[in-house]
């Protein structure tokens, strides 16, 4: 199938300072992806380049097979049929909600405008708000209107730039699920930019982790967590600590906590120094285990508790335990590693 | 990239670090550059007066009055400067940080003197307090003797007092805003560290408000240096009156521009002083942590303050206002005639014309700064809004010299190709006068427009673009409606300022274009206070509109 969006090795930024560096991405119709990264990683710049607000200094962006951005071509934003939902919602304060939503429909008849506006308000669950003004709405309501407004002209692609970051945590999660369901219902292709991995995993079928203007890994949430392609992704997604070890065989590593077996082979020589990624759910506290450590920190999180356990002065592990086990800081405990596939990186001294 | 909003094909802005001249000038550079030239040309022309000095008149002036002019001007500037700072800052402190009976009323009542042009206050003061005026007459009747002491109003002290009363609102307004926005936490921190309430004032609040006080004082001194009507009423010789004499007495634009250039130097010196006093103090409003607490002045102390402020309001606004009303009623049957209506019509027409052109130009400057935020546009827009510092008489000289140069050039050209000479084109034309207003009041229009423009988040026009609106549709559907309050404020302010403007109008008005301000000058220069009252009260009412509207708005915003 022809891709809706094709980004070929684009660079954006000022002279000598690329904010986006050799960036590739493609998107099939009807799919939703997330771009995830720390602030300043260039993810918003990518979005703005797709929308047409940011020039590219090299590379190309194609939409439906037509080049819309290159160093020589720059199709203006209004001619791209790409919708955008802004971080600050960007509702027009001098227009009421109905007029905001109908803004992208200048050529429709009044009756048609009203029909589409009503349908959009219904879609986002804001019936009855047509004649309110943006400043009379709460943040979450404004966000729904912003989505409705962006969808009204039926863009071929919707871009969402940190759309939930100004909302409080609880509302954020619910709205993310709502918006995803709305977009899926419309079979809308969408790119969602965020620094919050939970949001990214809710919104995107797949997620691209971005660092220094490049995509480091583009994958499902499960794989990003369990099969990180590199150290940055391993660090950035979820919690975890690295444990040093030495290769004994393709799937065997000697560590201070004993020999660990995995279900996949690495091509490194015996004796290679490696770091093993240990997620908190790989480390179990077991009173009877001969490997003894101390509880250094604990963070109660409701259903479970995250313990930081120290093995000696210079290394520590995280352990996630159901919260009915209640250890105290300073307690001596035993730990056991329960891991079936090993994620290894060559050790960097 | 903000400039892409109107011009999607414009290049990324790489000029920030480059020198002053842009590598690839675009329409914003050209338009803001052209507006900057409007200011620069009269300035250069004034200084070029020295290239071909009119030695005869000049040496006459230098021998007879020049030192007196300089001394007079310095006396005036020092006196008014000290006066507005003391009065403005103490009033601001009282209404911003203290609580006393009637405080909420005084908040805005103390702004009303702003509506009264200084030259109006001047002639009312003389009319009221002169030997033959109603106050001294009443005193003599009451004392039963004609031998009582009364301060001479027609004196340097009297003039300074009138100007302080007319110009203190600039300092009051800016210092008050500064005191209110200082935020609770800074002051509470000072209290926690052991400073008493006097210590807080002298060591925290006053130094933090210093940039605002300096800015307000500079505005007041600009007005003082630019003033013509007040000093003329008091027969006090300054550069502005000397320029007027050189122009209308000796008919020498050359000598006028030499005088103008000295006045301009004085203006630049005070601007420089303000800048240097501000450079080291970059204070930001601390995070808004609520309005600072007020010191409650209870009992007799509160009532004393209220009484003093009421007295000040009486002197600065109420009494002159009532006197103007009385005089107007005296003459209304004879003076409210076609001639008055003609003056009013011209004044309104000039005001509307100047306001429209200035606001459009101010909007262009605002957009230039927004869409092309590089050093070039920063410099050109700053230069284009420098006109507020140019006294009206200086501006008039500069424009008239430039205009007559232009006219001569055209006439010579026509003569050389054998055509009839067209005579004066720019010189003495309405266009030249409107140009003077536009230059002088550009900053007045630019300020509110820029404030509103800076509050339009870039995402709004971008949202419009992503919804299919072209750049011109975005301008019409997003920018103009959102800019409306700023445009309206600009229109109102420039219109009223133009209506009140005296020196440039006096010097440049085309034949038959007398305004209310011109009439006031003519009547007061003959001592006919009553007959100046009707045009004066008209200007006061016009001046009240923006003062009341804007004061109410800013009070609302501060809440």
**What pLDDT, in 10s, does the model give residues B40-97?**
888 888 888 777 766 777 777 777 788 888 899 999 999 999 999 999 999 999 998 8
pLDDT-derived band at B1 (thresholds 50, 70, 90) equals very low
| Residue linked to tokens 């904010």 | A19
pLDDT tens figures, B360-395? 999 999 999 988 888 888 888 888 988 888 899 899
How close A78 comes to chain B (CA, Å)? 4
Poorest-pLDDT segment among A213-222, B331-340, B497-506? B331-340
* Ramachandran angles phi, psi of B526, nearest 5°: -105, 5
Question: Can you tell me the mean pLDDT for A40-54?
Answer: 91
Confidence (pTM): 0.82
pLDDT tens profile A75-134? 999 999 999 999 999 999 999 999 999 999 999 999 999 999 999 999 888 999 999 999
Residue range B408-443, pLDDT digits in tens: 888 888 888 887 777 777 877 899 999 999 999 999
The pLDDT tens digits for A181-197 are: 989 988 999 999 999 99
Decide if pLDDT at B8 tops 60: no
Q: Would you state the pLDDT for residue B2?
A: 36
Residues of A in contact with B14 (CB under 8 A): 14-15
Residues of A in contact with B463 (CB under 8 A): 84, 86, 90-92, 149
- Contact partners, residue B153, CB within 8 Å, separation at least 6: B125, B126, B129, B130
CA-CA distance, B235 to B526, in Å (whole number)?
12
Residue from B254, B327, B232 nearest B521 by CA:
B232
A240/chain B closest Cα distance in angstroms: 38
> What is the model's pLDDT at position B259?
87
What is the DSSP-derived secondary structure letter of residue B20? S
Taking an 8 Å cut-off on Cβ atoms, the answer to whether B9 and A74 are in contact is yes
CA distance A200 to A217: 14
Largest CA-CA distance found in chain A, in angstroms, rounded: 77
What string of H, E and C letters represents the secondary structure of A34-88? EEECCCCCCHHHHHHHHHCCCCCCEEEEEECCEEEECCCCECCHHHCCEEEECCC
CA atoms of A348 and B452, how far apart (whole Å): 54
Whether B167 contacts B127, CB under 8 Å: no
For the beta carbon of residue A30, count every other beta carbon within 10 angstroms: 15
Share of chain A above pLDDT 70, in %: 98
d(CA A197, CA A199): 5
**In angstroms, rounded to a whole number, what is the distance separating the alpha carbons of residues B500 and B115?**
10
List, in sequence order, the alpha helices (H) in B49-102.
55-64, 66-97
| Distance separating alpha carbons of residues B501 and B524, to the nearest angstrom | 16
Residue B452 at interface with chain A, using a CB cutoff of 8 Å: no
pLDDT of residue B482: 93
User: What is the chain B residue with the closest CA to A74?
Assistant: B9
Pairs across A and B, CB distance < 8 A: 77
Cβ of B463 and A86 within 8 Å?
yes
Across the interface, do B470 and A76 touch by the CB < 8 Å criterion?
yes
Give the per-residue pLDDT at B4.
Answer: 36
Tokens 């071909």, residue located: B52
A24 close to A9: Cβ distance less than 8 angstroms:
yes
Which candidate from B466, B468, B470 shows the least CB-CB separation from A51? Answer: B466
Is the pLDDT assigned to residue B278 strictly greater than 70? no
What value does the mean pLDDT take over residues B126-144? Answer: 86
Q: Given an 8 Å threshold on Cβ–Cβ distance, is A77 in contact with B462?
A: yes
Looking at every residue in chain B, the average pLDDT score rounds to 85
For B455, the closest chain A residue by CA position comes to: A93
Collapsing DSSP to helix, strand or coil, B474 comes out as helix
What CA–CA distance (Å, rounded) separates B285 from B209? 10
Residue A209 CB neighbour total at 10 angstroms: 27
> Among all chains, which residue has been given the structure tokens 């030495």?
A246
Which run of H or E residues covers position B166? Answer: helix B156-181
pLDDT computed for residue B9 by the predictor: 37
CB proximity list for B482: less than 8 A, separation 6 or greater: A93, A94, B452, B456, B460
pLDDT in tens, B176-209: 888 888 777 777 777 777 777 777 788 888 888 8
C-alpha closest to that of B500 among B460, B549, B459, B535: B535
Residue A256: pLDDT band with limits 50, 70, 90? confident
| Interchain CB distance below 8 Å, B459 and A94 | no
Contact A54 B468 (CB under 8 A): no
- Mean pLDDT (chain A, rounded): 90
Residue A173, phi-psi category: left (phi > 0), alpha (psi -120 to 50), beta (remainder):
alpha
Q: Does A86 touch chain B (CB under 8 A)?
A: yes
| Smallest CA–CA distance from A150 into chain B, residue | B467
């Amino acid at each position: 199938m022809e891709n809706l969006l094709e980004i070929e090795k684009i660079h954006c930024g000022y002279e000598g300072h690329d904010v986006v560096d050799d960036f590739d991405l493609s998107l099939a119709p009807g799919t939703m992806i997330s771009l995830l990264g720390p602030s300043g990683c260039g993810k918003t710049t990518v979005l703005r380049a797709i929308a047409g607000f940011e020039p590219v200094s090299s590379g190309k962006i194609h939409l439906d097979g037509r080049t819309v951005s290159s160093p020589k071509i720059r199709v203006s934003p209004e001619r791209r049929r790409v919708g955008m939902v802004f971080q600050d919602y960007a509702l027009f304060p001098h227009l009421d909600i109905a007029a905001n939503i109908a803004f992208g429909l200048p050529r429709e008849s009044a009756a048609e405008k009203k029909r589409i506006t009503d349908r959009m308000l219904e879609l986002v669950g804001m019936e009855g708000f047509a004649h309110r003004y943006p400043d009379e709405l709460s943040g979450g309501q404004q966000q729904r209107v912003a989505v409705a407004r962006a969808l009204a002209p039926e863009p071929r692609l919707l871009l969402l730039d940190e759309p939930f970051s100004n909302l409080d945590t609880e509302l954020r999660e619910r709205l993310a699920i709502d918006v995803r369901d709305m977009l899926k219902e419309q079979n809308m292709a969408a790119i969602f930019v965020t620094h919050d991995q939970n949001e990214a995993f809710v919104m995107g079928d797949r997620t691209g982790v971005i660092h220094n203007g490049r995509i480091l890994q583009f994958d499902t949430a499960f794989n990003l967590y369990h099969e990180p392609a590199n150290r940055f992704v391993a660090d950035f997604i979820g919690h975890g600590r690295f444990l040093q070890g030495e290769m004994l065989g393709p799937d065997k590593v000697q560590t201070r906590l004993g020999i660990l077996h995995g279900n996949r082979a690495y091509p490194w020589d015996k004796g290679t120094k490696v770091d093993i990624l240990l997620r908190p759910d790989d480390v179990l506290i077991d009173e009877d285990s001969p490997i003894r450590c101390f509880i250094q920190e604990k963070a109660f999180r409701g259903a479970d508790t995250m313990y930081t356990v120290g093995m000696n002065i210079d290394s520590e592990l995280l352990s996630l335990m159901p919260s009915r086990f209640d250890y105290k800081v300073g307690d001596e405990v035993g730990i056991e590693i329960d891991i079936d596939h090993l994620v290894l990186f060559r050790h960097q001294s | 990239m903000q400039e892409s909003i109107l011009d999607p094909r414009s290049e990324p802005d790489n000029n920030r670090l480059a020198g002053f001249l842009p590598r690839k000038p675009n329409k914003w550079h050209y338009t803001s550059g052209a507006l900057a030239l409007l200011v620069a040309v009269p300035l250069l022309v004034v200084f070029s007066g020295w290239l071909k000095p009119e030695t005869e008149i000049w040496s006459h002036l230098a021998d007879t009055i020049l030192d007196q002019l300089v001394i007079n001007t310095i006396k005036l500037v020092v006196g008014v400067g000290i006066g507005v700072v003391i009065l403005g800052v103490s009033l601001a402190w009282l209404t911003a940080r203290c609580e006393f009976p009637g405080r909420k009323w005084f908040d805005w009542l103390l702004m009303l003197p702003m509506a009264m042009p200084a030259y109006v206050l001047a002639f009312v003061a003389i009319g009221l307090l002169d030997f033959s005026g109603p106050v001294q007459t009443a005193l003599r009747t009451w004392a039963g003797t004609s031998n009582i002491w009364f301060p001479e109003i027609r004196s340097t002290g009297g003039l300074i007092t009138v100007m302080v009363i007319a110009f203190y609102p600039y300092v009051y307004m800016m210092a008050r805003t500064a005191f209110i926005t200082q935020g609770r936490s800074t002051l509470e921190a000072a209290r926690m560290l052991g400073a008493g309430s006097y210590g807080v004032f002298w060591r925290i609040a006053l130094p933090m408000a210093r940039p605002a006080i300096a800015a307000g004082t500079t505005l007041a001194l600009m007005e003082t240096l630019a003033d013509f009507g007040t000093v003329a009423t008091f027969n006090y010789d300054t550069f502005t009156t000397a320029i007027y004499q050189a122009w209308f007495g000796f008919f020498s634009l050359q000598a006028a521009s030499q005088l103008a250039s000295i006045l301009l130097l004085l203006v630049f010196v005070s601007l420089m002083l303000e800048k240097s006093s501000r450079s080291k103090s970059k204070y930001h409003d601390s995070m808004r942590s609520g309005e600072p607490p007020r010191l409650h002045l209870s009992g007799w102390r509160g009532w004393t303050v209220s009484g003093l402020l009421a007295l000040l309001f009486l002197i600065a606004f109420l009494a002159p206002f009532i006197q103007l009303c009385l005089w107007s009623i005296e003459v209304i049957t004879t003076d409210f005639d076609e001639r008055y209506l003609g003056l009013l019509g011209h004044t309104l027409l000039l005001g509307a014309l100047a306001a429209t052109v200035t606001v459009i130009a101010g909007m262009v400057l605002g957009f230039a700064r927004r869409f092309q935020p590089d050093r070039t546009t920063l410099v050109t827009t700053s230069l284009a809004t420098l006109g507020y510092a140019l006294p009206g008489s200086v501006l008039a000289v500069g424009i008239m010299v430039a205009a007559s140069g232009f006219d001569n050039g055209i006439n010579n050209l026509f003569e050389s190709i054998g055509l009839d000479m067209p005579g004066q084109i720019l010189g003495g034309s309405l266009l030249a006068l409107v140009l003077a207003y536009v230059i002088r009041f550009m900053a007045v229009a630019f300020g509110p427009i820029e404030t509103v423009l800076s509050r339009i988040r870039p995402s709004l026009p971008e949202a419009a673009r992503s919804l299919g609106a072209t750049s011109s549709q975005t301008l019409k559907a997003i920018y103009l409606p959102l800019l409306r309050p700023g445009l309206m404020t600009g229109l109102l302010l420039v219109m009223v300022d133009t209506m009140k403007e005296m020196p440039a109008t006096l010097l440049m008005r085309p034949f038959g274009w007398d305004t209310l301000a011109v009439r006031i000058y003519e009547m007061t220069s003959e001592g006919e206070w009553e007959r100046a009252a009707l045009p004066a009260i008209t200007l006061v009412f016009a001046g009240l509109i923006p003062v009341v509207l804007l004061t109410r708005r800013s009070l609302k915003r501060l809440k």
